[in-house]
Structure formats: structure tokens, C-alpha cells
Structure 1
Amino acid sequence: MIELEGLTKRYGEKVAVNNLTFTVRPGIVTGFLGPNGAGKSTTMRMILGLDHPTAGQVRIDGKRYDQLKDPLTYIGALLEAKAWHGGRSAFNHLLCLAQSNGIATRRVREVLETVGLTAVAKKKTKGFSMGMGQRLGIAGALLGDPRILMFDEPVNGLDPEGIHWIRNLMKSLAAQGRTVFVSSHLMSEMALTADHLVVIGQGRLLADTSMADFIERNSRSYVRIRTPQRELLLDVLHTTGITAVEAGDEALEVDGSKAEQIGELAARHGVVLHELSPQQASLEEAFMQLTAESVEYHAHADALPSEQQELRRQQQQWGSEWRRS
């Protein structure tokens, strides 16, 4: 378990992390999200003792990182994809880590097999591709067989097979009861991997909730309907107090209603339906809505197509409404 309490980091006048308090629990994959400059990397570095907090504290299974004996056996992390000496082989890189933490040599061979690098174990790492480097970094995180694992952008440089592999690896580690904390900008991948989300913006905590609750709270849900008996359906819905609005493709949209309710009404009144589908925003849309006012680096609005400008305006409006709720 990772516990943050009032964690704050200042660089002069700049507040990179602002009073963060949350817990990363075992048995689930926790996603760590935020726009560029939100403070994610700084937070992860403070968890590992690479940066010292200005205020607050981090506990790893109840201890500070510098209190851990053989820390790789407590927490394994991938923060920098190429944090190794290019003149060393993959095997020797991992062997150095193992020897510094009292880990048996056989474990080096095991993790190389796990990440699929056995065939290149004796090759110098300076010739490794980005994907191979990611696999080596993951091997280093797994080396101590730790109960806690932390990954920053783990799918960078991986091919589709590698992405599928790391996704299943993280899920299997969590299923074993381990704590898995992963940061990524790939929302589609996070949606397939994470069970719980911690979202920060400008160093502050914006959300600490389940994936399902995050999407439900930060996005519009509605029912999409298509029918050749449009006017009849509108009358039926109106008499029951349901408001439908026209979409641009001859469909109707109803906010907040259940598809089952509308389907039963249509059947009762003999209305033919060609489509009746509940719609939910993606994780990416929900994330952009919540963080619209926390994005530090914006492209110039005049350079955006008009549709994207309108989407940006809606995202900012949704973000303001969410904060008032």
C-alpha cells in the first residue's frame, strides 16, 4: 500500500504538488492521470525518495522509502525507460540491481524470461530499441518480486503484442493482491487496464474514485433513438415528461433516461424503433471535461478548427459545472 498525506513540493515560487492526500490500495490497478505539468512525475519521484517533499509524507507499507531495507523487495518502479549504463548487457544491468538488494542471481534469469528478453540477455543495452528498453525497465521493477509496483508510461515504444502483454501483466499482478500504480497519457489503454483512478491537475487532487464512477460523474449519459415515427414518439415522450432533443442525423437524444423505460413506452404505443442505444462518454472525454481548467499548456485557440474550439468551450463549461456541483 502507498499512502500520501498532505504531500507538497515547491520549486521556488512554483508549486508542483499541492497537499496531495490519497491511498493506493492492493488488489486493483490504480491509474494516475493528469495533464502535462500536473505533477504526476514529481509525485512518483517523491514516493521513491528521489525528490524530497516540502511538506507532507509518503508511506510504503507504513515506512518511508529511506527506511526500507532492500527496497526493490518492497516496491519496484519503472520511471525512466533508459535508466541504465549502455555499455552493460541486460543481464549485467539486472545483476547489479539484484546484488545491491540481496536478490539471488536466478531471479535475473526469471525476469528476463518474463519480459521476453532472454534471447538478448548478453547484448549491450545501448543497442536496444525503445520497446526493448521498456521491457528491461519492467524486468527491473519485477526483480525483487515486490508487493508494490509503480509504472510511468509503461506502454511507450511497445508494439501491439507488447501492449497487450503489459496490460495483462498489470492485471495479473493486481489479482495476486499486489499494489499496482500506473501513470499514462493513453486514455484508451488506461480504460482497459485501471479499476480505480487518481486524477490531479496543477498539483491538486481532482478525483479519487472508481473508473465507472469517474466516467459517470464527469460525462453526459443519454439515450440515442432513431424511429420512422418521429412525431408519434415525441408525443409519447412528452406526455410522460421526457424531453427529447434532435441530433444532427435525424436521431433523437434523451438525457438521463433509461433505455428500458423508453423501449417499454414505445412498445406500449406501437412505435417502431430502428435504434435505441444508451450512450456514455469515453474515459478520454470524461478526463478532458474534468481537467479542462487545469491544463497548463494549450495550443493557440485560433489555430484550432471551429469544431475543436466549440469542444474546448464545452469542456471548460462542464468543468466549471462539475466544480460547482
Structure 2
Amino acid sequence: MKLGTCLYNNQTFVCIAQTEGVLLPALDPAFDQAAWRDMISLIESGTDLSAMLANATDAMRVKFADITLLAPIPRTRKNVMCLGLNYLEHAEETANQIGRTGKAPQYPIVFTKCPTSVIGQDAVVPFDPDTCSQLDWEAELGVVLGKGGKKIAAANALDHVFGYTIINDLSARDIQLSHKQYFLGKSLDGGCPMGPWIVTADDIADPQNLAIACRVNGVTKQASNTRNMIFNVASIIEWLSRGMTLEAGDVIATGTPSGVGFVREPPEFLLPGDVVECEVESVGVLRNSISAAG
């Protein structure tokens, strides 16, 4: 099932993607209004999604043209947790750029992006050359937790996943490389496009066998498969939960494959007017444009 968050008649709703449009269960008073107005509330409610779908009514049906998609979780409760250098070829290309020998990290490299960086499908990424002139793309599989916990074993970790989304871990390289940590360069306003949907975990047979790609103005820049992750989804959840309690609605970006802009010869960065598409097999295509300067 594909779940999203949208604006309809200037109100926010959780929606379910259909072939001809979407379902907005909150339009039918017979359904839980609080849960179907907020994605995290829906996740926490434990609502039987299949049963709701089986009882869908005409009152819920809305055309795609009548809604505006937002990020599936428009404002995360906490920072989005992110994995750095989680594909070996990306670790190698990054190391080569700074004159080192690339190798797989022994432990996950974790940083975060602040909630104010999150934007949704077709939202415009602000471009401010006075702040950042080296904006880079990073297509990533996003994981949304449905059940929290601490010291979650890898063998059980996927049971804690609500669904999967796409994240473009936009990176201000000139800021990122000027500091000893990633946070400032990863948390620009609009620096965390997410969406367009959360695909529920029951629709993804194996999160470690999904093609992943990024295109800029229609030109493929990244093309890989999630099987190439150094730390897979289950082990990421295990590592993160070792000393930190994870919660329902937490979002994890699992790292990007090779092909980012700053390691290219010559380096390539996003410019006003560019259109970036991040695609993950079985999840969808996340599309955003870069704003014109001004």
C-alpha cells in the first residue's frame, strides 16, 4: 500500500494512492479522524490498513489533480538519522577525492538532518548562493519505523519497519567539508526531500534488492542496488538501537551509492532550474527542482 500526506481544500490528510486518484479516509466520519490526519498518529494507532481499504467508500475518493502531495511525514518529530559512506563504491570515490584509500567502515557512520529540512514531492529546493554554492544530490532508500524499541536484534529488526520511502540527502558540500561534522551541510532548508509515498513493508519483499538511481535533468548520475549497502537495513536498526530508544515514526536514510557530484571530474553541482529525480524500485520517483536565484 502507498501512503502519503497531502493538502486537500487547504487541510492536511493522510492519503492512500490508487490508480485513478487517492483515498482520504478522514473524509468519511466513520473512520478515525485523528489517525487519518497525521501520518505518525496513523503509524502509532496500529490501524488495520487492509481492513480500511476493504471498506473504502466513495466519500473518500479524490482526484490526483485536486491534491498537493507533501512529504509523507511533513515534519519529523526528531532529526532524520542518516548513514554515511554505506556503499563501498561511494566510500571509495569519496576517499579518492581527498587522497586516501577507500575502504568499508568498520562501524556505521551516522549523522542527522533537522526536521526543518524536510520537503515533499515537487517542492522547490531553495538555492541561496551566499550560503551554499556546491549543492549535491544523494538518492537514498528511506526507512520509516512502525514500532520502536531498544537493543533490537537484526534478526527481528525488519518487524519494526512500517514502510519505505525515498530521501534525497541533499548536501551543501562547501559547508559540509568546512566543518568537522556533517550537520550544518546536511540541514539546509529544503535539504531533505522525502516521498512521494511510504510503501508499507508488506509490499517490499526484500529491502536489500531494490534498484536505486538519481537523474539530474534526465541524465543518470547514480545507478546501483540496495544489495550493495555495507550495513543493511536490519543491521542499521540494530546498531542505532544499541544505546538509543527508537520510536514509531522515526526515519532513517540508509546511505547513497556512488555517482555524487563533488567527486566528478570536473565537479558537478546543482544549479537553479535543475530537476532532480531519485528513484527506488517498488517505491517510486521523488522529483524536485532547484529554485531560481533571487
Q: Which has the higher strand share?
A: 2
TM-score by length of 1: 0.23
TM-score by length of 2: 0.25
Q: Which has the higher helix share?
A: 1
Structure 1 or 2, whichever has the larger Rg, is 1
Structure with the bigger RCO (C-alpha within 8 Å, sep 6+) is 2
